[in-house]
């Protein structure tokens, strides 16, 4: 997939800016707080229909304005697509693909596939499970059309159940209806997550061996209901969830919380059998995330037959030079966007496009 052009109007600190991109490497550089990450956010919006960092769409509208508009020209599955997103303080966000309105975010997903890697991901292995779940969910949502809707149905049911558990005079029949629905959706979500975690693991294992000179065996273990899920357990997942539901029934009533299920699951990154979260060095933890991200890119190619667009936000400066070379060598046949404050290191790359950003506008664009 290739992003050809972006047009930003009243988006973040951009008033009116059009930028053409190179099919290979785009280096977006400039001082801090000039608007580099905002460009990546603008591109990212067209993958899931929502931002990777804004809680509310409104945050993306320029402080002084009431409406923002983004246009993105891209090529996906050999089709030229003109995307448009209108964000307003007063009305619902509108998305168009080739001038046809997109009704739900899930109808947009899959048009432009993106892998985003920013500094916030560097602690993915170390921190709590929320972002590990979020990361895998974003990946699967782009690869499997029905997943995003199932996930949002599941979240709504969990919210409903949470409200009900807090009610002193709760309708027990409604609670059991909800539990039944939650169980069915949980089975399908867990099976899908397991399937994709294993696909990622297969690719990531090879990359980890390559990057560690054959020394490190990487494993990704899906943890659900406090259990390490393997092939055998996934076959019996419905039974496991039913048993767990009976086990925690009283605790859920007591603590008035939904205490198990896909919204509480986790992924354990292991190297040579040891959990990286507890035993890995910071460098090993960072490398494992880098490996996971490269594996995501490869998985898109395997599943869709096309590379996604890779957005590397301020990440290169976090990697040592051998890791930087590894990334640039590994990812030669796809479009990459790199933001950085110092573009010097990339001047050796032939055919790269250098875009200098200053105060929400493009100061200079040079191709070498």
Ligand X SMILES: Nc1ncnc2c1ncn2[C@@H]1O[C@H](COP(=O)(O)OP(=O)(O)OP(=O)(O)O)[C@@H](O)[C@H]1O
Give, in degrees to the nearest 5, the angle at Cα 15 between 12 and 21: 85
Q: Distance between CA 52 and CA 319 in Å, rounded?
A: 22
Least distance in angstroms from the C-beta of 48 to ligand X: 19
Alpha-carbon distance of 49 to 150, in angstroms, equals 17
Q: Does 13 bind ligand X (CB under 6 A)?
A: yes
| Residue 160 partner contact from Mg ion, ligand X, none using kind-dependent CB cut-offs of 5 to 8 Å | none
Region binding ligand X by CB under 6 A among candidate stretches 59-67, 72-80, 104-112, 281-289: 59-67
Phi, psi of 129 (to 5 degrees): -75, -15
CA distance 193 to 299: 14
Long-range contacts of 210-214 (CB under 8 A, 24+ apart): 211/287, 211/290, 211/291, 211/323, 211/326, 212/287
* Four-residue CA torsion sign, 122, 124, 130, 132: positive
Contact footprint for Mg ion (CB under 5 A): 37
Rounded least distance, CB 32 to ligand X, Å: 3
Q: Is 12 in the site for ligand X (CB under 6 A)?
A: yes
| Candidates 36-44, 127-135, 167-175, 222-230; binding stretch for ligand X (CB under 6 A) | 36-44
User: Which entry of ligand X, Mg ion, none binds 33, CB below 5 to 8 A by partner kind?
Assistant: ligand X
Distance of CA 278 to the CA centre of its chain: 24
Near ligand X in 314-343, by CB under 6 A: 314, 339, 341
Could you say which of 22, 37, 111, 292 contacts ligand X (CB under 6 A)?
37
Q: Which does 317 bind (CB under 5 to 8 A by kind): ligand X, Mg ion, none?
A: none
**Which range touches ligand X (CB under 6 A), out of 17-25, 57-65, 103-111, 145-153?**
57-65
Instruction: Tell me how far, at minimum, the Cβ of 11 lies from ligand X, in Å.
Output: 8
Sheet containing strand 227-229, edge to edge, reads 227-229, 218-224, 266-271, 274-275
Q: Which residues bind ligand X (CB under 6 A)?
A: 12-13, 30, 32-38, 59, 61-63, 314, 339, 341
């Amino acid at each position: 997939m290739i992003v050809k052009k972006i047009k930003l109007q009243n988006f973040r600190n951009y008033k009116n800016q059009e930028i053409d991109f190179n099919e290979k490497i785009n280096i977006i550089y400039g001082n801090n707080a000039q608007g580099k990450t905002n460009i990546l956010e603008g591109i990212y919006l067209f993958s899931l229909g929502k931002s990777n960092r804004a809680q509310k769409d409104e945050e993306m509208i320029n402080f002084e304005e009431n409406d923002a508009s983004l246009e993105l020209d891209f090529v996906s599955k050999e089709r030229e697509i003109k995307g448009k997103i209108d964000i307003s303080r007063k009305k619902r966000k509108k998305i168009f693909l080739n001038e046809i309105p997109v009704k739900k975010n899930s109808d947009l997903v899959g048009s432009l596939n993106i892998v985003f890697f920013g500094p916030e991901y560097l602690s993915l292995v170390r921190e709590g499970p929320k972002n590990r779940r979020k990361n895998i969910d974003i990946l699967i949502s782009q690869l499997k059309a029905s997943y995003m809707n199932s996930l949002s149905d599941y979240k709504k049911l969990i919210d409903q159940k949470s409200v009900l558990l807090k009610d002193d005079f709760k309708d027990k029949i409604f609670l059991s209806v909800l539990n039944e629905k939650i169980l069915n959706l949980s089975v399908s979500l867990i099976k899908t997550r397991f399937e994709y975690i294993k696909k990622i693991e297969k690719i990531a294992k090879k990359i980890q061996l390559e990057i560690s000179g054959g020394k490190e065996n990487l494993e990704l273990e899906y943890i659900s209901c406090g259990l390490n899920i393997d092939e055998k357990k996934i076959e019996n997942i419905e039974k496991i969830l039913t048993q767990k539901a009976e086990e925690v029934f009283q605790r859920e009533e007591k603590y008035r919380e939904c205490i198990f299920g896909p919204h509480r699951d986790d992924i354990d990154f292991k190297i040579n059998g040891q959990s990286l979260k507890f035993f890995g060095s910071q460098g090993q933890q960072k490398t494992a995330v880098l490996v996971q991200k490269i594996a995501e890119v490869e998985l898109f190619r395997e599943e869709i037959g096309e590379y996604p667009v890779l957005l590397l936000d301020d990440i290169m400066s976090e990697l040592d030079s051998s890791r930087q070379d590894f990334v640039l060598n590994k990812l030669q046949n796809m479009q990459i966007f790199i933001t950085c404050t110092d573009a010097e290191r990339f001047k050796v790359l032939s055919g790269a496009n250098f875009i200098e950003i200053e105060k929400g506008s493009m100061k200079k664009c040079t191709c070498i």
